């Protein structure tokens, strides 16, 4: 999914842009956004340090700790509920942006970490447009991410500036009711691109892919639709 972050225009959309995928570490973006919004963009130094570790080097311990801090009472379930509430209030109706299993008051459990490219692209647009409190902080931190070298970064022309968040998970699928795979091989990249003075969002999610698939798809979309770099004739 490729979109213009200035106008919101969808430049390229896959046929399965509304299909759910296992989010892996890309879901950390929603925990960061929910915490920033709760605290009106003002974090303690310790929280900011954790947020940077969570996004830039994908620290899982920081992820779980910050999610608890989003909640009202510091528990896992309270944090998950608060992240989910933020996601729903922002209009991402199909996304489960929290980590782990959320136990509802009626005893049912809902698995988090499920994303689709359409609403992930909307989130990148909303972040660029500062549509929630503290979005400018997350935007800056995303541009320090260094985990995309084998994904979209790999075949992107060197004059394109890239930020964002990647996600990788190989293992059993905990929620086959919503994602119909016994095992998951998630290779994801939510990227923000700067080309000259324009900004774009590029969201690639896969349940059965590889780093190379994400790299080729991302680099190809950038060349095909954004007019940068040399195009490759594969005929």
What pLDDT score was predicted for residue 105? Answer: 81
Q: Which residues contact 221 (CB under 8 A, 6 or more apart)?
A: 2, 12, 202
Residue 67 structure tokens: 């999610």
3-state secondary structure at position 169 = strand
CA distance 227 to 123: 24
Does domain 2-226 correspond to CATH entry 3.40.710.10?
yes
Q: Which residues contact 25 (CB under 8 A, 6 or more apart)?
A: 58, 60, 63, 165, 166, 167, 168, 169, 188
Residue 100 scores a pLDDT above 70: yes
CB 107 within 8 A of CB 126: no
End-to-end Cα spacing for the chain: 24
What pLDDT score was predicted for residue 231? Answer: 47
What pLDDT score was predicted for residue 235? Answer: 42
Residue 15 scores a pLDDT above 60: yes
pLDDT in tens, 195-230: 999 999 999 999 999 999 999 999 999 999 998 865
CA distance 49 to 173: 31
CA distance 17 to 40: 31
Going by pLDDT thresholds of 50, 70 and 90, the confidence category of residue 72 is very high
Going by pLDDT thresholds of 50, 70 and 90, the confidence category of residue 146 is confident
Average pLDDT, integer, range 57-75: 97
CB 47 within 8 A of CB 66: yes
Average pLDDT, integer, range 46-74: 97
Minimal CA–CA distance to 32: which of 59, 5, 3? Answer: 59
What pLDDT score was predicted for residue 107? Answer: 87
CA distance 204 to 24: 12
């Amino acid at each position: 999914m490729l979109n213009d972050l200035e106008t919101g225009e969808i430049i390229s959309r896959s046929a399965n842009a509304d299909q759910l995928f296992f989010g892996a570490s890309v879901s950390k973006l929603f925990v960061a956004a929910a915490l920033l919004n709760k605290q009106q963009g003002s974090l303690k130094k310790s929280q900011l340090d954790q947020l940077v570790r969570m996004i830039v080097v994908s620290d899982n311990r920081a992820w779980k700790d910050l999610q608890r801090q989003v909640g009202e009472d510091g528990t896992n379930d309270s944090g998950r509920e608060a992240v989910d509430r933020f996601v729903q209030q922002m209009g991402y109706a199909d996304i489960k942006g929290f980590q782990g299993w959320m136990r509802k008051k009626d005893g049912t459990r809902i698995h988090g970490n499920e994303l689709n490219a359409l609403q992930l692209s909307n989130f990148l647009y909303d972040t660029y447009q500062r549509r929630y409190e503290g979005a400018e902080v997350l935007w800056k931190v995303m541009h320090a991410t260094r985990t995309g070298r084998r994904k979209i970064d790999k075949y992107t022309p060197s004059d394109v500036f890239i930020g964002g968040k990647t996600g990788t998970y190989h293992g059993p699928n905990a929620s086959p009711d919503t994602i119909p795979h016994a095992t998951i091989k998630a290779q994801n990249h939510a990227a923000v691109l700067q080309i000259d003075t324009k900004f774009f969002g590029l969201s690639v999610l896969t349940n059965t892919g590889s780093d190379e698939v994400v790299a080729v798809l991302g680099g190809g979309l950038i060349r095909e639709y954004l007019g940068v770099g040399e195009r490759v004739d594969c005929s």
